């Protein structure tokens, strides 16, 4: 079975997945409760539920039987790269941003990222110069909509960061093919791009990713 990825609006996940807080561990519920904004809490809960739904589909077992565990190699807080206690060999990843969430589960490493895109704002060339390789930058400079094109590169890079292919402060090392130029691979990683009005995303994995959006329900 291909890797499973699901993406949608936070409200769709919360409306379609039942009592999602019940799926979360006490540690995750405490992390959610510590967030000041109700919208951020909803995004967090929806993403942490969605990753279980992805893993449940991949493993063909109930979502409520899966425990998400996170630990940090820099501090003792329960955050960082997630894994499943019951299936530590499978890869899981999640992302949340302003009313949108996505998650993925794969037989090997997987990373997923989303960024909200309000369609406005100037292109930040300083950030692009730090985050992109020479070929990417040349492609962006020639692009009719460099801001949007950079955002698409950014989510590809963050998906690869979550896999461990690069560190956040070393993104320029990821000189990726420009989105839309026909190549959706970097080394032996497949990049599955996705967008909807107001958001862009990407999932990275070695295996093909079957990405489903939630507008048709869970
Ligand atoms: C991984 C990272 C790039 C994602 O950040 P982001 O784009 O702002 O946020 P997203 O919503 O897309 O993804 C967040 C999720 O990525 C996951 N994640 C966090 N760190 C991760 C890592 N090192 N590898 C893979 N996934 C990671 C978590 O599940 C997190 O969600 P949660 O906080 O609700 O549990 C960012 O967390 C990062 O740079 N981490 C490294 C720096 C670090 O370790 N900081 C903490 C030091 S104490």
Q: Write down the CATH number for the domain with range 3-216.
A: 3.90.470.20
What is the whole-number distance in angstroms between the Cα of residue 52 and the centre of ligand 1?
17
The answer for residues whose C-beta is within 8 angstroms of residue 198's C-beta and 6 or more apart is 100, 116, 117, 118, 119
* Among 7, 82, 102, 111, residue to substitute to test ligand 1 (most atoms within 8 Å of Cβ): 82
Q: Interior CA angle at 192 toward 144 and 52, to 5°?
A: 135
pLDDT digits (tens, 9 = 90+) for 155-205: 999 999 999 998 999 899 899 999 988 889 999 999 999 999 999 999 999
Q: How far apart are the first and last CA of the chain?
A: 18
Judged against a pLDDT cut of 70, whether residue 8 lies above it is answered with: yes
Mean pLDDT of 71-100: 96
Cα distance between residue 57 and residue 11, in whole Å = 21
Q: With a 6 A CB cut-off, is 94 part of the ligand 1 pocket?
A: yes
H or E stretch at 166: none
pLDDT for res 215: 73
pLDDT for res 218: 63
What is the whole-number distance in angstroms between the Cα of residue 108 and the centre of ligand 1?
18
The answer for residues whose C-beta is within 8 angstroms of residue 19's C-beta and 6 or more apart is none
Q: How many CB atoms within 10 Å of residue 184?
A: 17
pLDDT digits (tens, 9 = 90+) for 103-113: 999 999 999 99
| Residues counted in the chain | 218
- When the pLDDT of each residue in the chain is averaged and rounded to a whole number, the result is 94
Q: For residue 153, which of 200, 197, 118 has the smallest C-alpha distance?
A: 200
pLDDT for res 115: 96
* Among 20, 32, 69, 95, residue to substitute to test ligand 1 (most atoms within 8 Å of Cβ): 95
Output the residue whose Cα is nearest ligand 1's atom 9.
95
pLDDT digits (tens, 9 = 90+) for 70-79: 999 899 999 9
pLDDT for res 214: 87
pLDDT band (50, 70, 90) for residue 121: confident
């Amino acid at each position: 079975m291909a890797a499973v990825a699901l993406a949608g609006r936070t409200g769709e996940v919360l409306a379609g997945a039942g009592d999602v807080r019940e799926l979360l561990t006490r540690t995750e519920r405490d992390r959610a409760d510590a967030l000041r904004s109700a919208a951020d809490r909803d995004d967090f809960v929806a993403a942490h539920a969605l990753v279980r739904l992805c893993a449940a589909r991949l493993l063909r077992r109930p979502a409520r039987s899966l425990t998400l565990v996170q630990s940090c190699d820099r501090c003792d807080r329960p955050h960082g790269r997630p894994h499943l206690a019951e299936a530590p060999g499978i890869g899981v990843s999640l992302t949340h941003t302003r009313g949108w969430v996505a998650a993925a589960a794969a037989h090997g490493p997987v990373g997923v990222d989303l960024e909200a895109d309000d369609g406005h704002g100037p292109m930040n060339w300083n950030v692009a110069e730090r985050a992109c390789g020479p070929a990417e930058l040349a492609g962006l400079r020639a692009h009719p909509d460099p801001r949007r094109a950079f955002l698409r590169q950014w989510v590809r890079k963050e998906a690869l960061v979550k896999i461990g292919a690069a560190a956040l402060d070393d993104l320029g090392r990821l000189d990726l093919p420009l989105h839309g130029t026909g190549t959706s691979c970097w080394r032996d990683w497949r990049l599955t791009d996705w967008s909807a009005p107001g958001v862009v995303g990407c999932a990275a994995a070695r295996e093909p990713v079957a990405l489903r959006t939630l507008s048709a329900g869970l």
